[in-house]
Amino acid sequence: MVDFAGKVALVTGGGSGIGRSTAIGWAKAGGSVVIADLDALRADTVAGEIAAAGGRAVTVQTDIAEQASIEAAVMFAIDRFGQIDFLHNNAFAPWRGSDSAALVADVGDEHWRHVMALGLDSAFRFSRAVIPHMVRQGGGSIVNTSSTAAYHAEARVGAYGVAKAGLSQLTRSIAVEYATHGIRCNAVCPGVIQTPLIGGVPLPQDFVKTIPMGRLGQPEEIANVVLFLASDLASYVTGAIVVADGGRTI
């Protein structure tokens, strides 16, 4: 249904979880992938999987909290392939300090800055670096991994919710400002997905009962939404914030 032949994707956090599934799915549809991840070994492993299946992928070690690293990743992709047709702003790493699950008044400055830097600033910086290249080449697509936390507040994850709400608004702003340049920008809001990110997060025993579909989501299910939004099948879709959470938000 989708064909990415001749197109290039830059996927942040492509070494695991949703990013990994997006990278693999893009390559299966014929596109080339640049996997940007802080964990070089994980990224290389995914690139190896793609190559073994006949696809094309390269990796670049990237710290999404550092402007210079972001710029280097974008230039690596341009130098290697000459273009970036799709940017998936997906990477994130939770704060692991002693105040990681704190009420707002107990959230420290380091916690707040970490979540904003990785959850919002990085997507802004990557988009800022990629958009001029997309403008010059006549278009492109950006998909941001937001969260259902952008829609509703839950106790002890305030900083995360604020960052993701900001990311959804950034998505709309890019969509409005660059539509005439052929650039579409959308976001997907996953619910709780079975990824390494939630490995250390204890869920209430009856949490699954709050999900109408009765189960956690899988990374591939979110990647499928991302790939649809990135594809020509979604050619008239921009500024959309798509919820994929098994019905929990409703």
Does pLDDT of 83 surpass 60? yes
DSSP-derived 3-state class of residue 4: coil
Whose structure tokens read 């305030």?
158
Comparing C-alpha atoms, which of 24, 81, 83 is closest to residue 54? 24
Known catalytic membership, residue 178: no
Separation between Cα atoms, residue 153 and residue 131, nearest integer Å: 31
Tell me if 220 sits within 8 A of 193, measured CB to CB: no
Separation between Cα atoms, residue 47 and residue 56, nearest integer Å: 8
Confidence of residue 196 (pLDDT cuts 50, 70, 90): confident
H runs (alpha helix) in 53-211 = 67-81, 109-116, 122-137, 158-178
Instruction: Kindly report, residue by residue over 143-175, the tens digit of the pLDDT.
Output: 999 999 998 888 899 999 999 999 999 999 999
What angle (nearest 5°) sits at the alpha carbon of residue 206, between those of residues 18 and 163?
A: 40
Catalytic residue among 151, 160, 178, 236: 160
Beta-bridge partners for 144: 89, 187
Question: Which tops the pLDDT comparison, 151 or 39?
Answer: 39
Does pLDDT of 201 surpass 80? no
Half-sphere exposure of 248 (CA within 13 A, CB side): 23
Separation between Cα atoms, residue 173 and residue 131, nearest integer Å: 13
- What is residue 154's predicted lDDT score, i.e. its pLDDT? 84
Instruction: Kindly report, residue by residue over 85-100, the tens digit of the pLDDT.
Output: 999 999 999 999 999 8
Let me know if domain 8-244 sits in CATH 3.40.50.720.
Answer: yes
pTM for this structure?
0.95
Q: CA 195 → CA 13, 20, 92, 240, distances in Å?
A: 12, 10, 12, 24
Comparing C-alpha atoms, which of 85, 109, 115, 96 is closest to residue 183? 85
DSSP-derived 3-state class of residue 2: coil
Comparing C-alpha atoms, which of 56, 59, 95 is closest to residue 77? 59
Comparing C-alpha atoms, which of 167, 192, 188 is closest to residue 243? 188
